[in-house]
Amino acid sequence: MDAGLKRELEEKVYAGERLTRADGEALYATDDLAWLGRLAHHVRTEKNGDRVMFNVNRHLNLTNVCSASCAYCSFQRKPGEKDAYTMRVEQAVEKALEMKDEQLTELHIVNGLHPTLPWKYYPRVLRALKEALPGVSLKCFTATEVQWFEKISGLSADEILDELIDAGLDSLTGGGAEIFDWEVRQKIVDHACHWEDWSRIHRLAHSKGLRTPSTMLYGHIEEPRHRVDHVMRLRELQDETGGFAVFIPLRYQHDFHDSADGIVRNRIQAQTTMASPAESLKTFAVSRLMLDNFEHVKCFWVMHGLSLAQLSLNFGADDLDGSVVEYKITHDADAYGTPHTMHREDLLQLIWDGGFRPVERNTRYQVVREYDAPVTAADRRREPQQVWA
């Protein structure tokens, strides 16, 4: 990038001017990662100071049986496969209750598109979970699942959301977004929920007072221009509804244990090496800069590893996913040694050690508790710390 364009982009960011599609693509093309991070860190600090939010949640997958076979997914199983499972309502409640003593505030539930489970199963599970854990928010189902419920029930998304909200739904999840651009999407997604339906369902959820997350799966066969296109669509929808709580870039994962049963489910791994740490930090930074109407950018550490998650806090992220006991979609296996579970104390330490101030939040991003730093870290927290200082 030439010095003139660099100065122009820098001036726009510091003046709070909205960046264009061409600006986003130019930012991805820069080799100056430290400069890009500094711009994103400026915006992140303007919006969120030195706070890093997190919530204590548990991820549950009620079933891994799925009618679709998305090319990036190592989670789905077909009916009758050896490790296919579907939880009974009581099993889901039993699993959730195991975390009761850990002051969990949210359950995050996503599932395969089960071919024969009746629609009524889903509100029934929500009701049972709400009854068992009345203080816990239920963040459940992707827009893809809601569209699937339309298909299996004959109801409209409007009626489905009303029934789910009545059963205790507090938020949808942000999944199913992947990459909206059709050129890429048609090669990786194997269900019928694309931008038109994904945006329709989130728009509807926002109109009913739900705040929802949004995601982007990057680092597979897409190019930076597709990532820019993706966040611009979300930015437009956010202008319209204001209902997105957060944006979450998710790094595409290889399935390192395909050989366990000899079946290659994650079919695009031969075409990609996965995003490097630098590419991931770039994606966080450019997303933060483009999404001027989003308050929060979250790093889901299970998909990035703890080191990268900590660094992402200096590249635009201000939110870390909390205690995750189980998370399986796209992450059945990991060759990096990333733990699958982390608890409150581990997370606090990670945030303090990065030079930030941990703030526990609930699903709606209301503050649950602010944490004082250990004495030894206090000086380091007076100003947001940057890794290249």
Site string for ligand SF4, 127-156 (x = CB under 6 A): -----------------x------------
Distance CA 284, CA 270 (A): 25
CB of 329 to ligand SF4, least distance (A): 6
Give how many residues touch ligand SF4 by CB under 6 A: 11
**Spacing of C-alpha 189 from chain mean position:** 17
Q: Is 267 in the site for ligand SF4 (CB under 6 A)?
A: no
Closest CA to 173 of 131, 211, 116, 225: 211
Closest CA to 340 of 216, 245, 253, 220: 253
From the number of C-beta atoms within 10 Å of its C-beta (0-12, 13-18, 19+), residue 215 rates as: buried
Distance CA 52, CA 349 (A): 12
Q: What is the spatial order of strands in the sheet that 106-109 belongs to?
A: 57-60, 106-109, 137-140, 169-171
Q: What pairs with residue 136 in β-bridges?
A: none
CB of 344 to ligand SF4, least distance (A): 29
Helices (H), 177-304: 182-188, 195-207, 224-241, 277-290, 301-304
Q: Is 191 in the site for ligand SF4 (CB under 6 A)?
A: yes
* Residue 147 or 338 with smaller CB distance to ligand SF4: 147
Which listed range, 17-25, 69-77, 156-164, 287-295, lies at the site for ligand SF4 (CB under 6 A)? Answer: 69-77
Q: Is 113 in the site for ligand SF4 (CB under 6 A)?
A: yes
Q: Which helix (H) or strand (E) holds 138?
A: strand 137-140
Which listed range, 67-75, 153-161, 296-304, 376-384, lies at the site for ligand SF4 (CB under 6 A)? Answer: 67-75
Q: Is 75 in the site for ligand SF4 (CB under 6 A)?
A: yes
Interface residue with ligand SF4 among 112, 168, 224, 358 (CB under 6 A) is 112
Q: Is 215 in the site for ligand SF4 (CB under 6 A)?
A: no
Q: Is 276 in the site for ligand SF4 (CB under 6 A)?
A: no
Interface residue with ligand SF4 among 69, 186, 207, 307 (CB under 6 A) is 69
Chain contacts with ligand SF4 (rule: CB under 6 A): 66, 68-70, 73, 75-76, 112-113, 144, 191
